[in-house]
Structure 1
Amino acid sequence: MLRSQLTLILGLLLGTCGSAQDFWKDHSFTEADTLRGMLNPARANFDVTYYELHLDVDPVERLIDGRVEMDYTVTGELPLLQLDLYQNLEIDGIEQAGQDLRFTRRGNAVFVELPRPAEIGSRHRMTIYYGGTPTEAHNAPWDGGFVWALDQKNRYWVGVACEGDGASLWWPNKDHLSDEPDSMLISVTVPERLSVASNGNLRAEEELEDERKRRFDWFVSYPINNYNVSLGIGHYVHFDTTYRSFDGEELALDYYVIDYNIEKARKQFREVHPMLEAYEHYFGKYPFWEDGFALIEVPYLGMEHQSGIAYGNRYMRGYLGGLIPSDMDWDYIIVHETGHEYFGNSISVADHAEMWVHESFTTYMEALYVEYHFGEAAARRYLKSQLRFVTNAEPMLGPLHVNFTDFASSDHYYKGAWMLHTLRGVLNDDPLFFGLLRSFYQDHERSIVSTQEVIDYFSRFTERDLQPFFNQYLKYPNLPVLELRRSGDQLEYRLAADVAGLSMPLGVYIGEEAVRLLTTAEWQPMGRGIDPDEVRVDQERFLVDLRVVNEQR
């Protein structure tokens, strides 16, 4: 049965490898991409509700050994169940209800044959035993895997990051963004002088004297993306404080830093309170309240690990001392990665192709942080500093169902933030715009959304058809263009775009006079005696190109 079911699944996958967008049609995808990216029946027909990860980490030999206990509910016909684990890690056995289960591996996919047909709605626990040498990251967090490092005192310091590459590079799971467990236990054993910091709350710490080891049990009480599960191992010290929300409720703030950095951390992490205040103002309270907020010092730049944010910015302003305008003084990693607690961890997508939802909103949150504390003019200046990273080289929306992570630019960060800022300019109504952001977030808190759901919600809330607007910015690399031409002594304008029917109000300057135009695909008169060189787009509010065309009438 295992062979026939596997053949059927692979046939379904190979028949669906095409890209929906013309831009990506020449991009090559493999069977492995589709096995990771698509919800075939062996993945779609069960829902994971809980994981227990039990892991022994040996930083000397750079080995891991462990087991995963997975609770799941059957939602459809399921003779064969697909898990994911990188093929460089060995599986020692898979059990369910006291029975050893047969399995076969195809690349990083693991197909498990269930002993008997499972009734829809039935619940089960499966245990997977595994171990080996995990993938090592050479440029974390962009290159996923374990980071085996030494601190300044030549002591072991370990971290792991795996967004894009997938959590299956270090523990077996259903590695698809659409299925988040409702909760999770992370139990990690390390040599006795080391400590472990992870997601959620520390439930227990135990000395294993016979083995000269220590075990740390961490528990996450909210749904969590698999790639957000992480750990830091090192000579940590812990300090804590609280943040008081607008309604008076207190949030626990926990910080785990390498012992010799504690004074630097006490000073740098003071930024957390004003940041949380700004985000609460715009979107509401921190979304994982019961698990608390934490920063964990790691031997790489950082990552938005839920309720245990990885921090490696070396206690510097900006991004390792740069990136933000020189007169601004705040920690980019703290501000950006915490933004992901709202967009990325609380609101998530089901496909890496739609990562613009995570990154565009979070990047715009950086500007909102600046606006809240330093004013709108400072926020516009901060946004303008990001324009140098906008390439317009590719669409921000990638091809679906193929685990696409090969964006060649950061446009889904910076262009995406500017898309949202341009929408603010189009609406020209800040109470409406900020009400939209807050309502969208609160109506979708701790849920999975699609691009289309975002567009539909924004259109309903604003009572405008925003589909053409989002189609242009998300599905095409080109910006809309305000075109100008002379017609006798008249200057005319129109909006040129890839999307038919795109029209948008647009702020421009004619000389020093601010004018608001309703641009469409049709030529319209701007005025007589106007030189095209006098016209410029309001570049503080709109991401739109300007072009003079040589057409005379």
Structure 2
Amino acid sequence: MKKLILALVVLISAANISCAQVLSNKKGNYTEADSLRGSLRPERAFDVQKYHLKLKVEPEKQFISGSNTISFIADDDLSTIQIDLFENMKVDSILQNNQTLAYNRKHNAVFIDLKETVRANEKGEIQFYYSGKPIVAKNAPWDGGFVWDTDKNGDPWIGVAVQGTGASLWYPNKDHQSDEPEEVQLDIAVPNGLMNVSNGQFLGKKDLGNGFTQWSWKTVNPINNYNVMINIANYEHFSDSYGDLDLDYYVLPYNLEKAKEQFKEVKPMMDCFYEKFGEYPFVEDGFKLIETPYLGMEHQSAVAYGNEYEMGYLGNDLSGTGIGLKWDYIIIHESGHEWYGNSITAKDIADMWIHEGFTSYSEAVYVECRWGKEEALEYLKGTRRGLGNNATIIGDYGVNSEGSGDMYFKGANLLNTIRSIYDNDELWWKTLKDYTETYKHQIIDTETTENFFNESTGVDLEPIFDQYLRHTDLPKLQFRKKEGKTQARWIADVEDFKMPVDIFIDGKEIRITPTDEWGDLKENIALNKIEVNDLEFYIKTSYKK
């Protein structure tokens, strides 16, 4: 990752220095291709059970070839199914029970006519053979594609990042977040002398006798399409354990000693996340950090690491407070996604704040575990500096549209505000952990998240979630003096907006609960004596004379 690019991006907006690929927010300018990818059409009425990828990767040609065996259970009778594969990739053949199937292509979708209709609740299977030169990423991980690089020793170093862009960029699948295969097996053949590391547990390697070695991996937990991954290099491997969790690390040979030191942070991170979020959600598949030629991504059980063994974000602090330089941003953020995004997954990418807001909040959780609550609050406040508040966090549904990049740190600060509204840390931590464990390995939506946190407190959180997620502006707390009285009200887009907030008066903290109508404060005080607790509440404030 070029540091010059990083510096420029920091100046533009800290919120956009994320590791996911946030799609442009088109807001209405959608195409047929967007609908084909983003909607659950009748041809997608099936539940994927397993992908078995068998691929040959040729670095010199930047070429891949092979097959994906797709096993599924039909929701309805299916005579035609939609499988997604980018249109630049060649379909070699598609088989069902050894019979060649007819198909037609439209944009990045392949519509396949089954020889034998698969009846509702029955199992079907196709073998999809394909080949081609997948799109090369110009600036991974912000745009999707393959990264064909070489390490300092001149050996091939290959990675892939496709969140947002779509896993169908490089392999055929049902490319929608609402459906995850229950398991995935990857048999990846690479030139002798190189290693492929993928998700899940290592099954073994096999010399194919043609200058290539096949490396086989298998997951036994549900997995997002964009998390299915290959990582190819001349890796060195070392390992550790955290209780019954395998910790495996794959790094370039000349970085081995650096990695052994830097990756010591994994265990205190696990201590923190186990306490606050619950057990690591993919124990059977293990936890891996894999050095990649791009900054990082949350690839389930195979986390991509490219932070150059620096603290912070490539040696920078996204919060501007200095607190972010105490820890390795990529280790913490991308591992946080194992709980939020990989285990708990948004059904539609319009709700991606469920991934990114909670994971960005996990950074502050880690700070609090290590250095205390005050530093966690300072860190969260610092991350607001890059927020634009000029587009909604939630995108448009059914058209493959993510919301604003504010979903990261605005989402995190929303959660911190909700915690402050709870005003009971014991209840907050219990609710957060219960949420994380209740929806483990599940696909949910924003309404589910809102309802869960709403049911745990006596305060109605619905208008608060609504304002922060579905509107661009922050709620504004306005104070004024009128007829010798001090008054307050909220100005918000949500009708009948009401939210408690803590203020300081001469150093004494009190809680007030303004509405969208002017109301008297219990104490008559000068406006310049009022200070909002802005460490705990992310709002705007104005004083009207």
Q: TM-score range by the shorter chain?
A: over 0.9
| Partner secondary structure for residue 60 of structure 1 | coil
Choose the corresponding residue for 1:288, options 272, 282, 289. Answer: 282
Instruction: Provide the C-alpha distance between the structure 2 equivalents of 1:416 and 1:282, rounded to a whole number of angstroms.
Output: 18
Instruction: Give the partner amino acid of 1:64.
Output: I
Alignment of 1:543 with 2:538, yes or no, is: yes
Alignment of 1:157 with 2:157, yes or no, is: yes
Residue in 1 that maps onto 2:191: 191
Alignment of 1:379 with 2:373, yes or no, is: no
In the TM superposition, 1:427-446 aligns within 5 A as: 427-446=422-441
Residue in 1 that maps onto 2:488: 493
Instruction: Provide the C-alpha distance between the structure 2 equivalents of 1:89 and 1:51, rounded to a whole number of angstroms.
Output: 18
Residue in 1 that maps onto 2:5: none
Instruction: Provide the C-alpha distance between the structure 1 equivalents of 2:417 and 2:48, rounded to a whole number of angstroms.
Output: 39
Choose the corresponding residue for 1:533, options 528, 537, 543. Answer: 528
Residue in 2 that maps onto 1:297: 291
Instruction: Give me the identity figure in percent.
Output: 42
Choose the corresponding residue for 2:504, options 495, 504, 509. Answer: 509
| Partner secondary structure for residue 342 of structure 1 | coil
Instruction: Give the partner amino acid of 1:73.
Output: I
> Which stretch of the first structure deviates more once superposed, 214-223 or 502-511?
502-511
Q: Displacement, 1:535?
A: 1.9
Residue in 2 that maps onto 1:213: 212
Q: Displacement, 1:548?
A: 2.3
Residue in 2 that maps onto 1:57: 57
- Residues 190, 221 of structure 1: CA spacing in aligned structure 2 closer, same or farther, 3 A cutoff? same
Please report the TM-score for the alignment, with normalisation by the length of structure 1.
Answer: 0.92
In the TM superposition, 1:46-445 aligns within 5 A as: 46-209=46-209, 211-244=210-243, 250-324=244-318, 325-326=321-322, 328-405=325-402, 407=403, 409-445=404-440
Q: Displacement, 1:461?
A: 2.4
Instruction: Provide the C-alpha distance between the structure 2 equivalents of 1:351 and 1:286, rounded to a whole number of angstroms.
Output: 24
Instruction: Provide the C-alpha distance between the structure 2 equivalents of 1:375 and 1:124, rounded to a whole number of angstroms.
Output: 53
Higher RCO (C-alpha under 8 Å, 6+ residues apart) = 2
Residue in 2 that maps onto 1:35: 36
Residue in 2 that maps onto 1:460: 455
The gaps in structure 1 that reach 5 residues or longer are 1-23, 245-249
Q: Quick check: 2:93–2:130 contact (8 Å CA) kept in 1?
A: yes
Q: Displacement, 1:165?
A: 0.6
> Which stretch of the first structure deviates more once superposed, 494-503 or 319-328?
319-328
| Partner secondary structure for residue 424 of structure 1 | helix
Q: Displacement, 1:204?
A: 1.3
Q: Quick check: 1:490–1:527 contact (8 Å CA) kept in 2?
A: no
Q: Displacement, 1:531?
A: 2.9
Residue in 2 that maps onto 1:450: 445
Q: Quick check: 1:69–1:128 contact (8 Å CA) kept in 2?
A: yes
Instruction: Provide the C-alpha distance between the structure 2 equivalents of 1:434 and 1:205, rounded to a whole number of angstroms.
Output: 44
| Partner secondary structure for residue 124 of structure 1 | strand
Residue in 2 that maps onto 1:4: none
Q: Describe the superposition over 1:299-351 as per-residue Cα deviations: whole angstroms up to 9, x where unpaired.
A: 00000000000000000001000125435421000000000000000000111
- Residues 498, 174 of structure 1: CA spacing in aligned structure 2 closer, same or farther, 3 A cutoff? same
Q: Displacement, 1:523?
A: 1.2
Instruction: Provide the C-alpha distance between the structure 1 equivalents of 2:466 and 2:524, rounded to a whole number of angstroms.
Output: 35
Q: Quick check: 2:135–2:145 contact (8 Å CA) kept in 1?
A: yes
Q: Quick check: 1:52–1:184 contact (8 Å CA) kept in 2?
A: yes
| Partner secondary structure for residue 462 of structure 1 | coil
| Partner secondary structure for residue 345 of structure 1 | coil
Instruction: Provide the C-alpha distance between the structure 2 equivalents of 1:83 and 1:511, rounded to a whole number of angstroms.
Output: 64
Q: Displacement, 1:509?
A: 1.9
Q: Displacement, 1:25?
A: 8.9
> Which stretch of the first structure deviates more once superposed, 462-471 or 476-485?
462-471
Q: How many residues align?
A: 518
Instruction: Give the partner amino acid of 1:276.
Output: M
Residue in 2 that maps onto 1:247: none
Instruction: Provide the C-alpha distance between the structure 2 equivalents of 1:38 and 1:207, rounded to a whole number of angstroms.
Output: 42
The gaps in structure 2 that reach 5 residues or longer are 1-24
Instruction: Provide the C-alpha distance between the structure 1 equivalents of 2:412 and 2:269, rounded to a whole number of angstroms.
Output: 18
Q: Quick check: 2:491–2:516 contact (8 Å CA) kept in 1?
A: yes
Q: Displacement, 1:389?
A: 1.9
Q: Quick check: 2:490–2:515 contact (8 Å CA) kept in 1?
A: yes
Q: Describe the superposition over 1:461-480 as per-residue Cα deviations: whole angstroms up to 9, x where unpaired.
A: 22443211110110001111
Q: Displacement, 1:529?
A: 5.8
Q: Quick check: 2:118–2:124 contact (8 Å CA) kept in 1?
A: no
> Which stretch of the first structure deviates more once superposed, 278-287 or 325-334?
325-334
- Residues 100, 537 of structure 1: CA spacing in aligned structure 2 closer, same or farther, 3 A cutoff? same
Instruction: Provide the C-alpha distance between the structure 2 equivalents of 1:106 and 1:273, rounded to a whole number of angstroms.
Output: 47
Q: Displacement, 1:239?
A: 0.4
Q: Displacement, 1:117?
A: 2.9
| Partner secondary structure for residue 242 of structure 1 | strand
Q: Quick check: 1:436–1:462 contact (8 Å CA) kept in 2?
A: no
- Residues 480, 223 of structure 1: CA spacing in aligned structure 2 closer, same or farther, 3 A cutoff? same
| Partner secondary structure for residue 115 of structure 2 | coil
CA RMSD of aligned residues (A): 1.4
Q: Displacement, 1:526?
A: 2.4
Instruction: Provide the C-alpha distance between the structure 1 equivalents of 2:201 and 2:502, rounded to a whole number of angstroms.
Output: 49
| Partner secondary structure for residue 117 of structure 1 | strand
Instruction: Provide the C-alpha distance between the structure 1 equivalents of 2:523 and 2:348, rounded to a whole number of angstroms.
Output: 51
Q: Quick check: 2:26–2:401 contact (8 Å CA) kept in 1?
A: no
Instruction: Give the partner amino acid of 2:485.
Output: Q
Q: Displacement, 1:193?
A: 1.1
Q: Displacement, 1:528?
A: 6.7
| Partner secondary structure for residue 450 of structure 2 | helix
| Partner secondary structure for residue 269 of structure 2 | helix
Q: Displacement, 1:115?
A: 1.6
Q: Describe the superposition over 1:264-298 as per-residue Cα deviations: whole angstroms up to 9, x where unpaired.
A: 00000000000011000101111100111000100
Instruction: Provide the C-alpha distance between the structure 2 equivalents of 1:448 and 1:463, rounded to a whole number of angstroms.
Output: 27
Q: Describe the superposition over 1:48-96 as per-residue Cα deviations: whole angstroms up to 9, x where unpaired.
A: 1001011100100100011000001111132210010000000011000
Q: Describe the superposition over 1:102-137 as per-residue Cα deviations: whole angstroms up to 9, x where unpaired.
A: 100001000001124322111121000000110100
Instruction: Give the partner amino acid of 2:322.
Output: S
| Partner secondary structure for residue 320 of structure 1 | coil
Instruction: Provide the C-alpha distance between the structure 2 equivalents of 1:528 and 1:487, rounded to a whole number of angstroms.
Output: 13
| Partner secondary structure for residue 179 of structure 2 | coil
Instruction: Provide the C-alpha distance between the structure 1 equivalents of 2:281 and 2:26, rounded to a whole number of angstroms.
Output: 38
